[in-house]
Amino acid sequence: MTANPIRWWTTRAFGRNPLARGADRVEAWAIVAGILMLIAAVYPAMAIGQLGHAARSHAIAVEATTRHPVEATAVGTSRSDPSMSDSTTATFLVPVRWLAQNTTHDATTKVEQPVKAGDKVRIWLDDEGRITSAPLTEVDARIEMIGTVVLSWLVASAMVGGAFVVLRRALHRSRDRGWDRGLLELVDNGGGWTTRKS
């Protein structure tokens, strides 16, 4: 037979069962407090995410004004990037050449797909003409914000859960001491015969 969690909580929080102790009621109300704190933790988690999103959006705006795309030509065959050997995403290095301000430039850039000599490769340059990464987009900022919100809420949940575990252990010890005292009283009272005889 499956126990009803609502009935279980009501019995512990408000029931007059003589076997229910103060520790049982404290635990029941601690569960409610924990749930309320988890719900309340959503707001600060979202606030932290919004702050991070605002900062990232500003960085995106700056990147958009300081980076621009250029079409380059691969002058060799791409090779695997050894620095990304542990990554699940394949990355390749390829030497490229491009023309800027009537000057030919050569450098090595990263690409996501293998290329061969003569293939066109889109690269991003900063204001000083150096190869850089593509600017982040608003989608990137939103994904990062969601990750920050979830991580912040999980940290708060871990703290609440840890506090509940500590409290529950203390309550278990309190119950054990209570049962020990009750058994000692029962033994000292001759199993209840002294009271019944009197």
Length of the chain: 198
DSSP run (H or E) holding 16: none
Selected residue with higher pLDDT from 125 and 197: 125
**Residue ranges per domain, the chain?**
5-46+142-191, 68-134
- pLDDT surpassing 60 at residue 22: yes
What pLDDT, on a 0 to 100 scale, did the predictor assign at position 13? 62
**pLDDT of amino acid 156:** 93
What is the structure's pLDDT at 33? 86
Name the residue with higher pLDDT: 57 or 25.
Answer: 57
47-68: per-residue pLDDT in tens? 999 999 998 889 888 888 888 8
Query: Per-residue b/e over 142-158, b at no fewer than 16 CB within 10 Å?
Result: eebbeebbeebbeebee
Distance separating alpha carbons of residues 112 and 80, to the nearest angstrom: 10
Q: What is the mean pLDDT of the chain?
A: 80
pTM: 0.63
The percent of residues above 70 in pLDDT, for the chain, comes to 74
Average pLDDT over residues 101-115: 87
Least confident interval from 62-66, 86-90, 146-150: 86-90
* 3-class DSSP assignment, residue 159: helix
3 falls in which pLDDT band (50, 70, 90)?
Answer: low
Provide mean pLDDT across the span 112-138.
Answer: 87
